[in-house]
């Protein structure tokens, strides 16, 4: 469960932004929205957070900051952090800093790092195995590189102790995170931190597609049936969704490619094992195509949308005929299954993209229902322009955030609970009237809101 996330000097974010998922102490409404972690250190969180703001305010950059942190832990490819560039030369030379406080497997962890370009200047990790903080390691910049201090708990828990940990540190490059390299070397005490980022944090962008969803649902008919039930509940205009497989002519496909691509494609097929899949670059309505090896033959796995004709017969259509809203929901619905895992964080940029406002509300309501009933610590964070969701009967005020640019063009984030609110305030009306900021500012004879 995410408790808080901080970021500074990254893209449009200059000064430190604190995104706090812990509930406001003074709020007494919708207490069922308070999640309590099963940890020695008291930790609470909210199941959902909505981020509003004008176009270009920095909502996507904030989400990308969390995605950047996940990617640096998850991947060997080292990507440079992009600093805030609208201040001065000195600001551009400052490191970008990212940190999280989260609970996972009954322990609260505090992890973070500072990066200048690709180079790690600081990195730290502590844990709360009890109510008291335990330092596991602190990496800091000194001279021309970084040094590191190991906590007693990490040393005593690691086979080979301080000598082995020091050996790992001496072998890493300036661009590498100690956390990632230590986990590769089976330092088990650090594994839960990497595991949370890799397997329990998911970022869904406006153009994201649920990976290999066609193949997953083909192998799990009950999951496909459940998805069809959900699509019917939402009033989607279809009889059902089906997965289909048909033999794939690999030679015919390869002949359509240029020489280099054809060779890479054939090599990929040759290395394919029974039951494995590969993704084709060719897409249907933005969806990847998947090839599966079965009984030494290749099959194309795809979706078909089924409708019932007036005479009662079933007619199947290629998935490319479906609406963009249907496709968006198809890629969001798997998150409801993922939400049933403990301590899972789903982050969605532009949750309402191509969706009717009632569908957005349906999805969010389903997520909240799953998490508040199970109290499993899973959460949904999303950016949106859908003001219909600004409803005090739907979201608590501490679940609503506003992003806007200040006079220096730096993004800043504030929570609705920080504003003085009168009893019975209409959140949507107040937001559109500019009471909370984070709305477009028009110049000239443009739109005027009344």
What is the rounded distance in angstroms from the CA atom of residue 58 to the CA atom of residue 430? 21
Given a cut of 80, whether residue 303 has pLDDT beyond it is yes
Residue 280: predicted pLDDT: 84
Q: Which residues contact 404 (CB under 8 A, 6 or more apart)?
A: 53, 54, 57, 411, 412, 437, 438
Exposure string of 415-442, with b = 16+ CB inside 10 Å and e = fewer, is bbbeeeeeeeeebeebbeeeebbbbeee
From CA 83, how far away is CA 12, in angstroms rounded? 8
> The tokens of 373 are what?
């009933």
pLDDT digits 0-9 by tens, 53-95: 999 999 999 999 999 999 999 998 899 999 999 989 888 899 9
Q: What is the pLDDT at residue 435?
A: 87
| Encoded tokens for 112 | 């973070």
pLDDT in tens, 343-393: 999 999 999 999 999 999 999 999 999 999 999 999 999 999 999 999 999
Mean pLDDT, residues 199-218 = 93
Q: For residue 423, what pLDDT is reported?
A: 64
Pairing of strands 35-36, 96-104: unpaired
pLDDT at 185 > cutoff 90: yes
pLDDT higher than threshold 60 for residue 256: yes
SS3 274: coil
Q: What is the pLDDT of residue 364?
A: 98
pLDDT digits (tens, 9 = 90+) for 111-167: 999 999 999 999 999 999 999 999 999 999 998 889 999 999 999 999 999 999 999
| Average pLDDT taken over every residue of the chain | 93
Task: State residue 75 phi and psi, 5-degree precision.
Answer: -120, 150
User: Mean of the pLDDT values across residues 184-198?
Assistant: 98
Q: pTM, whole model, 2 decimals?
A: 0.92
pLDDT of residue 145: 87
Domains and CATH numbers, the chain: 2-205+334-432 (3.40.50), 239-321 (no CATH)
- Poorest-pLDDT segment among 170-179, 204-213, 420-429: 420-429
pLDDT tier, 445 (very low <50, low <70, confident <90, very high otherwise):
low
Q: For every residue of 281-322, which 3-state class applies, written as one string?
A: EEEECCEEEEEEEECCEEEEEEEEEEEECCCCCEEEEEHHHC
Q: What would the two tokens of residue 369 be? A: 């229902």
pLDDT, position 422: 66
How many whole angstroms separate alpha carbon 77 and alpha carbon 127?
Answer: 27
Q: 105-114, 231-240, 395-404: which has the minimum mean pLDDT?
A: 231-240
The C-alpha angle with vertex 423 and arms to 418 and 425, in degrees rounded to 5, equals: 70
pLDDT for 283 beyond 70: no
- Residue 398 near residue 415 (C-beta atoms within 8 A): yes
Closest CA to 46 of 417, 423, 338: 417
**What is the C-alpha separation between 126 and 137, in angstroms, rounded?**
7
Most confident residue range from 168-172, 259-263, 293-297: 168-172
Count CB-CB contacts under 10 A for residue 46: 26
Q: Which residues contact 398 (CB under 8 A, 6 or more apart)?
A: 23, 24, 27, 46, 415, 416, 417
**Is the per-residue pLDDT at 448 higher than 90?**
no
- Taking CA atoms, 440 is separated from 10, 66, 386, 433, in Å, by 22, 25, 14, 11
99 close to 6: Cβ distance less than 8 angstroms: yes
What is the DSSP pairing of strand 201-204 with strand 345-348?
parallel
């Amino acid at each position: 469960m995410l408790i808080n996330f901080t970021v500074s000097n990254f893209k449009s974010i200059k000064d430190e932004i604190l995104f706090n998922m812990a509930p406001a102490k003074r709020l007494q409404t919708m207490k069922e929205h308070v999640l309590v972690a099963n940890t020695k250190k008291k930790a609470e969180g909210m199941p959902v957070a909505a981020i509003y703001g004008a176009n270009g305010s920095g909502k996507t950059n904030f989400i990308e900051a969390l995605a950047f942190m996940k990617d640096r832990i998850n991947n060997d490819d080292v990507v440079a952090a992009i600093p805030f560039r609208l201040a001065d030369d000195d600001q551009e030379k400052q490191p970008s800093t990212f940190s999280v406080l989260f609970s996972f497997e009954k322990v609260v962890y505090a992890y973070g790092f500072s990066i200048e370009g690709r180079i790690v200047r600081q990195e730290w990790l502590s844990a709360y195995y009890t109510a008291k903080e335990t330092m596991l390691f602190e990496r800091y910049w000194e001279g021309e590189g970084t040094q590191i201090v190991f906590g007693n708990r990490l040393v005593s828990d690691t086979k080979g102790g301080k000598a082995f940990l020091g050996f790992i540190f001496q072998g890493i490059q300036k661009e590498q995170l100690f956390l990632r390299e230590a986990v590769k070397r089976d330092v088990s005490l650090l594994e839960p931190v990497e595991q949370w980022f890799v397997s329990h944090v998911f970022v869904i962008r406006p153009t994201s597609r649920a990976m290999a969803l066609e193949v997953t649902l083909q192998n799990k008919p009950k999951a496909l049936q459940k998805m069809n039930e959900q699509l019917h509940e939402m009033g989607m205009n279809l009889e059902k969704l089906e997965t289909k497989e048909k033999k794939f002519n690999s030679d015919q496909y390869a002949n359509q490619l240029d020489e280099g691509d054809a060779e890479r494609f054939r090599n990929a097929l040759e290395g394919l094992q029974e039951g494995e899949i590969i993704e084709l670059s060719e897409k249907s309505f933005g969806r990847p195509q998947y090839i599966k090896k079965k009984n030494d033959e290749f099959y194309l796995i795809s979706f078909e949308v089924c409708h019932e004709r007036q005479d009662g017969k079933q007619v199947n259509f290629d998935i490319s005929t479906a609406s963009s809203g249907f496709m968006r929901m198809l890629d969001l619905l798997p998150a409801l299954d993922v939400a049933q895992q403990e301590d899972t964080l789903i982050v969605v940029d532009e949750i309402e993209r191509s969706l009717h406002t009632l569908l957005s509300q349906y999805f969010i309501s389903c997520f909240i229902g799953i998490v508040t009933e199970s109290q499993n610590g899973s959460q949904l964070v999303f950016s949106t322009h859908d003001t219909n969701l600004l409803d005090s009967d739907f979201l608590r005020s501490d679940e609503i955030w506003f992003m806007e640019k200040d006079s220096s063009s730096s993004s800043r984030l504030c929570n609705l609970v920080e504003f003085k609110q009168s009893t019975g305030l209409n959140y949507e009306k107040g937001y559109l009237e500019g009471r909370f900021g984070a709305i477009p500012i028009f110049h000239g004879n443009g739109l005027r809101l009344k």
